[in-house]
Structure 1
Amino acid sequence: MSYLDPRMVTLIGIPGLEHLQFWIGFPFFAVCLVALLGNIILLIIIPAERSLHQPMYIFLAVLAATDVGLSAAIVPKMLAIFWFGSCSMTFDACLAQLFFIHALQGMESGILLAMAFDRYVAICDPLRHTSILTPYVLVWIVLVVVIRANVLVGLLPILIKRLHIFHTTVIAHSYCEHMAVVKLAAEDIQVNKICGLFVGFTILGFDMIFILVSYILIFQAVFHLQQKEAQLKAFNTCSAHIFVFLEFYVLAFFSFFSHRFGHVAPSTHILLSTIYLLVPPALNPIVYGVKNKVISKRVAHIFLLNHGSSQ
């Protein structure tokens, strides 16, 4: 059955696991709470603490804001589906959710590249670190990251809007993802597929390649250091970013390729793609909080203060 210009779509959640969705919602809700709490704390601490007014932590604050937005774009509707059976959504709202999710993903990838560049300059050219990464340059880097993600991802809903004939308006997913929406169409979607691949590789592929190049150069510089202590200190400054980089890109490319070329069960793909979007925002503030003594002390101070005032 075909639909002409659908006004509403239906998200079924996790196909095959509908009977478990109510319970699946609780761990996702817990992860979302951790993500929101952790990233909001970072957004409070970093502007307030002068010692953290450095490029790495300014980028971390932008990453935290992006992660808050990503959690807010996905979780409310997903939990409404899981807990209340609120599966309907206007087609335009679905496209808006699609845009925000993928644009925020693109911004997160760009910020990870900016953080890798900061680590490269800090280790390979430390004397010029402050002269290269000036406040003016930082603002421009963030602006380029935001504009690039919004312009490229903005092509996706525009191309979807040109489709008018659909097999169905039922989306076998817990949120509006690009290919899940495109596959509803009963028309030629080759342009949409090509554009999706182009956007994915232009953002994720480009960023991953340059992050890898940055770390090859960083490791070369570190191995040329004479003292073991200096080598360990250099590796320690990069460890948090390496962990965040690996968790983001490994899950991203698994989700990206399995949806297009793989033979993964729909329920497995949807669970993994949702974990990919929600777990990094929860882990990022924990990783950086543990690695940075100033952040961990301020977090401990906030909770001890609240605990003391509640007694």
Structure 2
Amino acid sequence: MEELQDKYIRFDWAIKRLLRQKANFGVLEGFLTVFLGEKVTIIEILESESNQQSIDDKFNRVDIKARNSKDEIIIIEIQNTRELYYLERILYGVAKAITEHISLGERYYKVKKVYSISILYFDIGKGDDYLYHGQNHFVGVHTGDRLQVNVKEKDAIVQRMPAEVFPEYILIRVNEFDKVAVTPLEEWMKYLKDGTIRPDTTAPGLGEAREKLKYYSMTSKERMAYDEHLSAIMIQNDVLDSAKLEGKIEGRAEGRAEGKAEGRAEGIIKTAQNLKQLGVASKVIAQATGLSEDEIMRL
């Protein structure tokens, strides 16, 4: 009988290395089925400039881009550390996916529906829930009512409902989850947060994950790379947290707005210096701190 404390690979590592393989689509399909609320079948993993493997590529924004059985595009991105302008980033990723999958000269009805799923391991804002879902709606400026677009009438200008066309954004706030895992959604949240999977799980995809994402099933070389990945994440989070705290403390000590600004600026510079010493790519440091690459090169 398998031990209860078996160690499982984090989802962010699996999604980059293992879940692109067709044999492991069951894990990915289970995850999407639970978080999208409907049965999802993956037809293929799509490669493009928006999900290349190189960490230095400025288009390196998407961890997985897949096409489902409805010919829709699903983007999954995992963000371990804070990043400025994150909402703009996911908007860019969605726009890129839409334009990449409609050829020049094709009619607009060929536009694909896109789902953007962000798994966040940092605090993006205030909210009581750990799972948020958003989409475009048309609301009356004066009346507050929601516009019901006509699509069923003969010769209607609009052929598809907005929900069938506009992208949907799902934000998964992993660190905010603190419940006992009972439902399939909660079981997935538990796995995303601390790597725990119940031996008797029936949650879609997690049974496959227990078989295919075992830590000790990797080779020693793969385990070493994985452990280094976890260490890098912890170091970057510690550095960013320390810089943020140092900036706040110094700002308070000054007691003036200039002091706060100076504290924040020095904290950001210290963060960039530490990340640079760790060998983190300049473009990644720029995303994390807001500094330009030229400023980082001069540090």
Which range, TM-score by smaller chain? under 0.3
- Which protein has greater RCO, CA pairs closer than 8 Å, 6+ apart? 1
Instruction: Give 1 or 2: higher helix fraction.
Output: 1
Query: Could you tell me the TM-score, scaled by structure 1's length?
Result: 0.25
Query: Could you tell me the TM-score, scaled by structure 2's length?
Result: 0.26
Instruction: Give 1 or 2: higher strand fraction.
Output: 2
